[in-house]
Amino acid sequence: MEPVAIIGAGQTTYEGAKRHLSYQEVIFEAAKAALDDAGLKRADIDCVVLAAHDLVDGRGISSMLGATPAGAYQKDETRLSDDGALAVAQAYMQVANEFNRALVVSWAKCSEVPMDQITNLAFDPFFFRSVGLNARTAEALQAERYASRNGVSPETAAQVVEKNRGNAANNPKAHLRTPVTVAEVLSSPMSCYPLHRLDMAPYSDGACAVVLAKGDAVPSNRKHAWIKGIGWSVDSYYLGDKELSTLPSLKQAAGRAYTMAGIRNPLDELDVAEVHELTSYHEMMAYEALGFCKEGEGARLIEEGATKVGGKLPVNVSGGVLSSNPYTATGLTRVIEAYLQVSSRANGHQVQDARTALAHGAGGIGAQSNCVVILSGER
Amino acid sequence: MGRSAAIVGTGQTKYTSRRIDVSIPELMYECATRTLEDADMAIKDIDAVVFGCAPEGFDGVNWPDKWSADAIGALGKPMLRIHTGGATGGSAALAGLHHILSGMFESVLVISMQRVGQTNQAQRIFQTMFDPLYIRGFTMGTIQNAAMGIREAMQREGWTEWHMARISSKDHRNALKNPYAHLQLDVSPEDVLNSRLISWPLKLLDICPRSDGACAVIMVSGEKARKMSRPVAWVKGSGAVTMQMTPGESEESQSMRGFGAAVRAAYKQAGITKPRDEIDVVEPYLPFSNGEINSYYSMGFCGSVKESIKFVEDGFGEMTGEVPFNPSGGVLCSNPIGATALVRVAEIAAQAMGRNPHQVPDVRNGLATGGGGNPGPGSAMFGTAMVLGRDPN
């Protein structure tokens, strides 16, 4: 397969509510920024891949009004109703197969819909919906199981928040840019046991986009992010059918991406990682699934500071999902942050000598579906 | 490059207004199992899954793909969900094709569904497609939107309600032989003309139903397909194009430009220069009876709309005509929305394999199209096309 690179990216700022902009305007801003970053015009793009959820957008077909500002008019375009990182996977296959350049765009304006109700609708109408399960409560079940099975204290979880929110202060695009301390996390209201309010990601408004290219369509005048490995997978839907303290489909996705990229020891071979931490506990669960440590040892990496900036493998240098969560677009945000790191263009939060980066996007309830992308600054 | 792909199995469920006997995962299990049996494969032989479903407002559950993951055997496999409105099944088939041709996978299950019967407010859900600030307030639904464009096209192109009725009668009579069809009605053009007026010039029998159902195909690499002892359907060309959504402004809503561009792209890849000589059967995505009139022209079977009107009168698209259109009965007889465009692909694949219950004799190549969003007169915001054939390119 011919190597494929990310050659440009664009992000809006992430905010609690972009009341001054329609969702078409938010989409346009990100798509245009990605084209500008890649030094391209809309005419240079061969195909467009979108990721958007109807119910999150409050639309019957959210791409019906979203495709045009995303630049898809008269183009080969498809839309995923899935996490934005999976749109990168689809675009990767399209470029590897047929096209020279693809534009990937994802968005959400969470402020316009009741997210707890929207995510409650993901549960089957017979057994779980009426129990009141939604994304938050399902994530809390996972967090509680993880904490009790592995003896993880609320203080350790709060350290994840302190790390990510501290990092977000250096990311001009982030939604929550005020650092918080462990004490502040622990004294924030108990929202959904064991999750304090600050253990949970916000819901944000925003959009982001990347340009993928291969061969001669990759300009030689600057560094890019070459896609070295990519994998995705899905778990069982029913919460009762799985061990809630683990993320098996993330482990499978990572396994595929590592095999493709030839990575054997991720902790040593990766320079930076952006994971999709739905809550502070989920970041530690992700460490285990991604093979940064053994199962049950995620907390140790936090306690040792191994994933802080300056540590062995900095994770979520952008501030992660705990700082910005444009829901559908969140996985694509992770890919963009990994791209910025390996192309040495992370404004304000660059990790020195970041050559190989991992990006992780999650979809469904409690990360039922996961995608892992390995990017390298070298072809 | 240099890779090829073929469809080696198809599966459909009986389309009906309401499948009250099954849940979404049960329906998907039925469809996936039937498809695997048709391909003579087991779920362990499948490398990846592409799931198609259009607005989940119809189904009443957010992400029916995630709910169905267990039932369709997707656990631990790469799976993603496509949604381009009515074109979903066509876009899902194209996504599956990219899975294979990129070299990432050897076999893909492409499976699509919709349960429109789970809502009693389908038109209100359609209405949420439109912009909440300007258009939604007009209580625009798909049928009124289409009727506006059809009125304009009738006047401009010079065809009548009788031409629409002739097409509708043909499709409904074709569906009598399709065991999966939702509506199986032996109706004459006169019956269509006399059916209840919904939004002039559309009568009840000019309009597609809303169905519960699922459809799937299994696509494999050319290398794998060559080792199979049974006939397969080779994917010879594909195309997709997205137009824009502004009914009041876009001329293409009357001109089928979207569909046409996707079809031309597919012909080009398939090396088809004279569709009338080289395409033997068509399953077009046409939710209203007028659509086929213009399609003879926009799909390259004749040189003008005037000629295509004559084609209707001469029965060009009948089962006994030169190029049968919709042997299955088409969208007018079965419309499980997110699966409808994949049904087109599955029907053409079965025709190319020579084992369709309503087989057209000696099919070398067939054309399947998909269309979604902004329903003008047979036009679409999202258009897809796929040419499948008996022999590889």
DSSP-assigned letters across all residues of A349-375: TPPTT--EEEEEEEETTTT-EEEEEEE
C-alpha–C-alpha distance, residues A64 and B222, integer Å: 34
Q: Do B62 and A86 touch (CB under 8 A)?
A: no
**B63-80 confidence digits (pLDDT tens):** 999 999 999 999 999 999
Q: Extract the residue ranges of chain A whose pLDDT is less than 50.
A: none
Cis peptide before B201 (omega within 30 of 0): yes
CA-to-CA separations, A273 to A277, A373, B190, in angstroms, rounded: 12, 10, 67
The predicted structure's pLDDT at residue B127:
82
Rounded distance, CA A134 to CA A141, Å? 11
What's the token pair of residue A259? 């095999």
Chain A residues closer than 8 Å to B54 by CB? 61
Q: Tell me, what's the pLDDT at B2?
A: 79
Per-residue CA distances from A151 to A148, A155, A157 (Å):
5, 11, 11
Higher pLDDT, B150 or A296: A296
Report the residue of A46, A56, A64, A373 to disrupt the B interface, i.e. the one with the largest count of B CBs within 10 Å.
A64
Are residues A51 and A86 in contact, defined by beta-carbon separation less than 8 angstroms?
A: yes
The CA distance from A331 to A333, in Å, is 5
Interface touch A78/B102, C-beta < 8 Å: no
* Strand bridging mode A272-274 / A356-363: parallel
The mean pLDDT of chain B is 93
Q: What's the CA gap between A83 and A106, in Å, rounded?
A: 8
**Which residues face A2 on adjacent strands?**
none
Pairing of strands A190-192, A76-80: unpaired
Choose, out of A78, A126, A243, the residue to mutate when testing the contact with B (most B CBs < 10 Å): A78
Confidence of residue B1 (pLDDT cuts 50, 70, 90): very low
Q: Is the pLDDT of residue B378 over 60?
A: no
Q: Residue B379: pLDDT above 70?
A: no
- The complex's ipTM works out to 0.97
Instruction: Give pLDDT, residue A322.
Output: 98
Measured between alpha carbons, how far is A281 from A249 in angstroms, rounded to an integer? Answer: 17
- Interface size between A and B, measured as CB pairs under 8 A: 185
Residue A76 is predicted with a pLDDT of 97
Identify which of A61, A82, A126 has the shortest CB distance to residue B129: A61
CB contact under 8 A, A61 and B372: yes
Question: pLDDT category, B146, cuts 50, 70, 90?
Answer: confident
pLDDT at B254 over 70: no
Helix, strand or coil for residue B383?
strand
Mean pLDDT on B14-34: 97
CB A162 within 8 A of CB A142: no
**Contact flag A78-B82 (C-beta cutoff 8 Å):** yes
Mean pLDDT over residues B11-15, rounded? 98
B165-204: b or e for each residue (b if 16 or more CB lie within 10 Å)?
A: bbbbbbbbbbbebbebbbbbbebebebbbebeeebebbbe
Residue B380 Cα, gap to closest chain A Cα (Å): 10
Kindly state the helix (H) or strand (E) to which residue A9 belongs, with its residue range. Answer: strand A4-11
Amino acid B247: pLDDT: 59
Nearest chain A residue to B101 by CA: give it. Answer: A97
Q: Quick one: which of A336, A345, A280, A372 has its CA closest to A11? A: A336
Instruction: Compare all CA atoms of chain B with the CA of A235 and give the residue at the minimum distance.
Output: B75
Name the pairing type of β-strands A190-192 and A101-109.
unpaired
Does B140 have pLDDT greater than 90? no
Does B386 contact chain A (CB < 8 Å)? no
Q: Are A333 and A86 in contact (CB under 8 A)?
A: no
Q: Which of residues 140-159 of B touch A (CB under 8 A)?
A: none
Reduced to 3 states, what is the DSSP secondary structure of residue B239? strand
Chain A residues close to B114, C-beta within 8 Å: none
Q: State how far residue A306 is from chain B, nearest Cα, in angstroms.
A: 30
Other beta carbons within 10 angstroms of residue B106's beta carbon come to: 17
Nearest to B63 among A86, A122, A233 (CB): A122
